[in-house]
Amino acid sequence: MNKILQRKAKVERKTKETNISCEVLLDGTGKYDIQTGIGFLDHMIEQVARHGLIDINLKADGDLHIDMHHTTEDVGIVLGAAIKKALGDKAGIKRYADIVLPMDEALTQVAIDISGRAYLRWAVNLTPPKIGEMDTELFKEWFYAFAHNSDITLHIENLQGSNGHHVIESCYKGLARCLKEAISIDPRMSEIIPTTKGIL
């Protein structure tokens, strides 16, 4: 079987706060089945799948009777870990990607490096305290958890926007489009890890 078609992974995480299972296929068509118990978070991860062309099957059972923090953070952890696992040794990937993505009045710049060095720069000011049922402070927690468990260097800066829904959705769609590009295989170096160090 073609090596590219084998880039898939399953990660499970169970704690006293959450029980999460996630399967990803990096070379998919954007199919998804997302059930976190948080409607707006489901909607955002669906954007990652659809616009990143990554098939994602994710189920989460969390302590939502307390709040949404544990579920939101742990979903970021598990999805990030699944993508890292599916990438394997990262041979052939393009590694870098960036985009300036509009959504109506919102404009957001996203850049990633699949570097093996986890980092998040979050320059996004969200004025409403909630979007949907989610506290807006939770979005930074999700992106931090995702970046640090996928070992991706991730920069997100909102350049313009007044509608909180549009701003945060542009962040997720920007991530999706960057992942689509950065994880894609460059046929000129399909067996080569894109670094002079020999490992990412």
Residue pLDDT tens, the chain, 200 long: 345 468 999 999 999 999 999 999 999 999 999 999 999 999 999 999 999 999 999 999 999 999 999 999 999 999 999 999 999 999 999 999 999 999 999 999 999 999 999 999 999 999 899 998 999 999 999 999 999 999 999 999 999 999 999 999 999 999 999 999 999 999 998 889 999 888 88
Give a yes or no: residue 194 inside a domain.
no
Give a yes or no: residue 198 inside a domain.
no
Residue 24 token pair:
């990803």
Give a yes or no: residue 200 inside a domain.
no
Give a yes or no: residue 11 inside a domain.
yes
pTM: 0.96
Segments forming the whole domain that contains residue 105: 3-189
Backbone phi, then psi, for 182, in 5-degree steps? -70, -30
Give a yes or no: residue 135 inside a domain.
yes
CATH classification at residue 134: 3.30.230.40
Give a yes or no: residue 196 inside a domain.
no
Give a yes or no: residue 161 inside a domain.
yes
User: How many separate domains does the chain show?
Assistant: 1
Give a yes or no: residue 171 inside a domain.
yes
